[in-house]
A = this chain, B = another copy of it.
Amino acid sequence: MSSSWGRQIKLTVFGESHGPAIGGVVDGLPPGLAVDFDQINQEMQRRVPGRHQWSSRRHETDTYEVLSGLFHDKTTGTPLSFLIRNHDAKSKDYTELLNVPRPGHADYTGAARYHGYQDYRGGGHFSGRLTAPIVFAGSIARQLLALKDIQIGAHIRSIGSISDQLFDPIHPAADLFHDLAKKQFPVISDACGNRMQQLIESARKDCDSVGGIIEAAAVSVPAGVGSPIFDALESILSSILFAIPAIKGVSFGDGFGISRLRGSEANDPYDKIADHDGIVTTSNHNGGILGGITNGMPILFQVAVKPTASIAKKQRSVNLMTGKTTDLIVKGRHDPCIVPRAVPVVEAAAAFALLDVITQIKGLEYWL
């Protein structure tokens, strides 16, 4: 029962939303990577709160301090640790929630798990703030993956019932990933994105929130990554993706839709092309993974993000001291939709997972 993830390259995260700091330790990295801090900063900025109408008005700059594992700005191979101080925590917003668990939140389950000793302020260790260390670690992972041309991108596929187009399952171009990463609201079609933002704004005005679906892709992952049975790549990726708060579904390729295809449709035919080492498939319903192992095609996956649990609307709960039902109005600063901020987190988590799995098969020296 741990806040660590990974086999050969491990990420441990720590911290509470309103404690002194959050942070992480990345252990087992290949030595000698010249870390690009600008790239880390850009990734962190994509996740940071307080920049948009639809994001929390909490202002954290998410500046980090690296405490170990770097020497002359290169990874040493020993644990790389970092911390991010919490500055803009307003704990008094939360004190009255102590005895009345917020619906949709971990207040009640956290108290059950930790016998009431958890730091409940701002969600404590359950806070979405804990995704910042994942983005930090994921950015380092992406820099390593890029050495082998492996790129990861994601976009908002839908907000509520408004859907954008999908990635091209055969050629989800890395250029498109680059454009998406620069967008404050990462959609393929900006027109569609505008309608999504209107929906978010409408929810916000209603003191309510909306969810959505994120689609992600990884390209240039070599064939042969993953394992049958328990270390299926789907198992590994879903394990880290479900660690992101608010995610309630993970699927690969055509996902749940594949259940409506016939085998003759779902089986991706093989083809040989001139300039490719190995073979390719002419469709990608399986999302680049067969038998738990990559086939060299783009890895495609989707995650379902539930609407933000924190809403200002009146809700029903129970006062645990009195045992009586009560109305609850949640104060504090919250995102009416966390989907845009979850996009870089999804990418980062997938990058970290791929780094770990590839390293297990290819060895640490693959990256040197």
Residue of B nearest to A357 (CB): B1
B291 near A109: Cβ-Cβ < 8 Å: yes
| Chain B residue contacts of A116, Cβ below 8 A | 31-32
Closest CB of chain B to A365's CB: distance in Å?
6
Given A15-B68, A109-B290, A270-B101: A3 in contact with B27 (beta carbons within 8 A)? yes
A318 near B279: Cβ-Cβ < 8 Å: yes
B360 near A1: Cβ-Cβ < 8 Å: yes
Given A262-B307, A311-B267: A243 in contact with B252 (beta carbons within 8 A)? no
A251 near B243: Cβ-Cβ < 8 Å: no
Given A15-B67, A77-B113: A318 in contact with B211 (beta carbons within 8 A)? no
B113 near A160: Cβ-Cβ < 8 Å: no
A224 near B19: Cβ-Cβ < 8 Å: no
Q: Size band of the A side of the interface?
A: 35 or more
A115 near B259: Cβ-Cβ < 8 Å: no
| Chain B residue contacts of A130, Cβ below 8 A | 228-229
In the complex, A227→B208 CA distance in Å?
Answer: 27
In the complex, A278→B101 CA distance in Å?
Answer: 12
Residues 118 to 167 of chain A near chain B (Cβ within 8 Å): 118-119, 124-126, 130, 158, 160-161
Residue of B nearest to A19 (CB): B68
Residues 241 to 298 of chain A near chain B (Cβ within 8 Å): 241-243, 245, 247-272, 278-279, 281-282, 285-287, 289-296
Residue A50 at the B interface, CB < 8 A?
no
Given A27-B12, A228-B106, A270-B316: A234 in contact with B247 (beta carbons within 8 A)? yes
Residue A210 at the B interface, CB < 8 A?
yes
Given A14-B69, A290-B105: A2 in contact with B78 (beta carbons within 8 A)? no
The stretch among A39-47, A171-179, A186-194, A319-327 that forms the contact with chain B is A319-327
16 A–B contacts from the bound complex (CB under 8 Å): A22-B67, A31-B116, A79-B125, A106-B293, A108-B295, A158-B259, A211-B259, A232-B242, A234-B248, A235-B242, A248-B253, A249-B256, A261-B306, A265-B307, A270-B318, A272-B318
